[in-house]
């Protein structure tokens, strides 16, 4: 249970983010639902997707607040954190879920699309979390015990690469590395940072992997997005304080911990290599290493 905790979830208006928000609320959290919109708190008289999710949370007996903002907007991110603290007096976790796709083969990459993918994924993971982390550090330095959590969203595309998704893969790989740095830097303040690499049916994956994501006619629906959310809720809880700097792959009923990049076989001559020596040596090292997972789409 994460009763009484306050959790920000980005990209929470639909798909995985909505499932995370609902799961967290059912566990007793006050959920701050962040999703793009036309004004900081939604246009008057015009409910946003964020408003709809908060309404659904309240219909089930929970509570939350909606912010219709761009997660990569620096001022809006600061506003979300400041208003959350003003409203609730606390902030315990940030779940970074917001993302977009602009898929193209690498030779056809459009610079504008590339920049937008990086902005939404990488700056979107930075902005709200940076302001939250500043609050957690200041509180910890003042002697307040912290049990704060960051839950980021990477992807198999970021861990292994994915054909036709160079921008998305690069951004998601950046998120995985960012998670490791956050865990190393923020642990002293009582903050953990982990990431999930989910496989689930969403608006984005339904188009890219239609056959894989198709719902079965009967039985367990492995690709249902709500399958991912219990892990997110656990990682956002006080109970998960001994787990940090990890990447978890999750789909259906399967949870795996990614082992990540690590130094493999090596050969040290103790002197400068010659060009002629390197070919045989490099091939021997590659042959001796643990086989890499295949790039998605190959």
Across residues 207-227, what is the average pLDDT?
71
Residue 80 confidence (pLDDT) above 80: yes
Please state, as a whole number, how many other Cβ atoms lie within 10 Å of the Cβ of residue 110. Answer: 11
Q: What is the pLDDT, as a whole number, of residue 155?
A: 95
Q: What is the pLDDT of residues 86-139, one digit of tens each?
A: 999 999 999 999 998 999 999 999 999 999 999 999 999 999 999 999 999 999
Q: Which residues form the catalytic set?
A: 155, 168, 172
Q: What's the pLDDT tens digit per position in 35-53?
A: 986 544 545 667 899 999 9
Instruction: Note the pLDDT of residue 4.
Output: 85
Structure letter (DSSP) for residue 241? T
Query: In the chain, what are the domains?
Result: 6-257 (3.40.50.720)
Average pLDDT, the chain: 91
pLDDT score, position 213: 59
pLDDT digits (tens, 9 = 90+) for 268-298: 999 999 999 999 999 999 999 998 888 888 8
Residue 27 reports pLDDT greater than 60 = yes
Is the confidence at residue 10, as pLDDT, over 60? Answer: yes
According to the model, what pLDDT value does residue 204 have?
59
Separation between Cα atoms, residue 89 and residue 84, nearest integer Å: 7
> Is a pLDDT exceeding 70 seen at residue 2?
no
Contact yes or no for 240/248 (Cβ under 8 A)? no
What is the per-residue pLDDT for 286? 94
Work out the pLDDT band at 221, boundaries 50, 70, 90: confident
Straight-line distance from the first to the last Cα atom of the chain, in angstroms, rounded to the nearest whole number? 41
pLDDT at position 208, please?
57
pLDDT at 282: 95
- Average of per-residue pLDDT across 178-202: 94
- What are the φ and ψ backbone dihedral angles of 241, each rounded to 5 degrees? -60, -20
Q: What is the mean pLDDT of residues 198-220?
A: 67
Confidence at residue 40, expressed as pLDDT on a 0 to 100 scale: 45
Question: Cα separation of 244 and 252, whole Å?
Answer: 23
Total-model pTM: 0.91
Q: Buried b vs exposed e over 135-174: b needs ≥16 C-beta within 10 Å?
A: bbbebbeeeeebbbbbbbbbbbbbbbbbeebbbbbbbbbb
């Amino acid at each position: 249970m994460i009763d009484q905790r306050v959790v920000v979830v980005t990209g929470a208006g639909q798909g995985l983010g909505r499932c995370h928000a609902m799961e967290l609320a059912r566990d007793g959290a006050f959920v701050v639902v962040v999703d793009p919109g036309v004004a900081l708190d939604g246009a008057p008289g015009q409910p946003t997707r964020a408003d709809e999710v908060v309404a659904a949370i309240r219909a089930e007996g929970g509570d939350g607040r909606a912010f219709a903002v761009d997660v990569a907007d620096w001022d809006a991110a600061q506003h979300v954190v400041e208003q959350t603290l003003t409203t609730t007096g606390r902030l315990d976790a940030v779940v970074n879920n917001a993302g977009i796709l602009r898929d193209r083969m690498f030779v056809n990459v459009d610079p504008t699309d590339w920049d937008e993918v990086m902005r939404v994924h990488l700056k979107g993971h930075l902005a709200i979390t940076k302001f939250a982390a500043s609050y957690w550090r200041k509180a910890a330095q003042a002697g307040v015990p912290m049990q704060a959590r960051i839950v980021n969203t990477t992807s198999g595309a970021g861990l292994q690469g994915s054909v036709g998704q160079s921008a998305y893969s690069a951004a998601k790989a950046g998120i995985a590395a960012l998670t490791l740095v956050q865990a190393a830097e923020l642990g002293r303040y009582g903050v953990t940072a982990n990431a999930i690499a989910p496989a689930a049916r969403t608006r984005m994956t339904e188009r890219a992997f239609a056959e894989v994501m198709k719902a079965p006619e009967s039985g367990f629906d492995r690709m249902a997005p709500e399958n991912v959310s219990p892990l997110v809720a656990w990682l956002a809880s006080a109970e998960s304080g001994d787990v940090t700097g990890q990447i978890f792959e999750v789909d259906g009923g399967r949870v795996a911990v990614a082992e990540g990049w690590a130094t493999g076989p090596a050969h040290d001559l103790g002197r400068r290599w010659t060009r002629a020596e390197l070919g045989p040596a490099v091939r021997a090292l590659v042959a001796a290493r643990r086989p890499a997972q295949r790039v998605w789409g190959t």
